[in-house]
Chain A
Amino acid sequence: MTSDTDHKLRRILTDVLGLKPGQADAFDADTGLFGHLPELDSMAVAGLLTEMEDRLDIVVEDDELDGELLETYGNLLAYAEAKRAR
């Protein structure tokens, strides 16, 4: 069962990475992001975070930004779900 946040987050990654529809469905909790996908440089990550703020209606704080957050899809999703639950 996928949550609304999960669905939206996959859609955002599809947009940022230029994936074909459905390709992001294959992401699991261990799928590597920052540091694993060469196209995900700092500008792309910044764009990704802005889109997350807009579409998930959250505010990403400076001090929440660490390497771990963006390491895997699972980490990013857990973060987004916790933010939205607040």
Chain B
Amino acid sequence: MQFTAYPCPLPGGAAGSEFALAFDRDRQHRMLVLPALFDEANRMRRFAVEVMRRLDGAGIDSFLPDLPGCNESLRSLAEVEAEDWAMAAEAAAAEFGASHVLAIRGGALFVPGALPGWSYGAVKGASLLRTMLRARVLVSREAGREENLEGLLAEGLSQGLELAGHRLSADMFARLHELAPGDDIRLTAIDQDLIGGSPLWLRAEPDEDPDQADALAAVIAMGLKQ
């Protein structure tokens, strides 16, 4: 496993870079792994890296880029637009010479157009927002403040909003609200039934499951052999 970076342009075109985790031995198959978003990013990160270790063992290179404003990024999420994430995914794919993509949950909203591959647990942006909006309503009520989904949605669309500790710009909020996983036939959706167990992104606490990581890596390794 290597710690590396990829060039990721700043708004306005100035040079910048973001962190990435890589298993790179110059092999034929090179998988770009697009991470889950927001709180799910934490819950799914260990799983993502566990899958990458297994892919490495199966002779497949893989790369897990940070999206601008997330994880180790120096940029403030509040200033990031949805388009920045799409550009980052494209830039990482180009830098690492990706041959395929594995998009996890909300990562499926930013798959570079030219890549074949897999999506796991792909989710609509509106659904991610709804869960975070509701968490905020629950917390507000416990604190004695009356907020509702409709009002917060309107505020998010016009001014941006802080959700589950993530400050989203109005652009990010509005674009996420519209984005849905594409129906690109080059992307194969992996169902939880195929992986077994229960999805780790639903867990209240971060968890791991070696059997699920085995299963996901096996689906990909077999798919690449065909």
Contacts and interface: CB of A to CB of B under 8 A. Distances in A.
B132 interface: yes
8 contacts: A15-B198, A17-B203, A40-B204, A42-B139, A43-B135, A45-B138, A46-B134, A47-B131
A18 B204 contact: yes
Given A15-B198, A41-B204, A65-B137, 20 more contacts: A15-B202, A15-B203, A17-B203, A18-B198, A39-B204, A39-B205, A42-B135, A42-B139, A42-B142, A43-B164, A43-B204, A45-B135, A45-B138, A46-B131, A46-B134, A47-B202, A49-B134, A62-B137, A62-B148, A65-B138
Given A43-B39, A50-B127, A62-B149, A17 B204 contact: yes
B199 interface: yes
B186 interface: no
B134 A51 contact: no
B198 A42 contact: no
B222 to A, nearest CB: 26
B125 to A, nearest CB: 13
Contacts of B141: 65
Interface residues of B, number: 24
A54 B135 CA distance: 17
A15 B137 contact: no
B25 interface: no
Given A18-B204, A62-B148, A50 B198 contact: no
Interface string B146-173: 0011100000000000001000000000
Nearest to A60: B134
A76 B46 CA distance: 32
Q: Which A-B residue pairs are the 4 nearest by beta carbons?
A: A44-B204, A46-B135, A15-B198, A39-B204
B207 interface: yes
A5 interface: no
Nearest to B206: A18
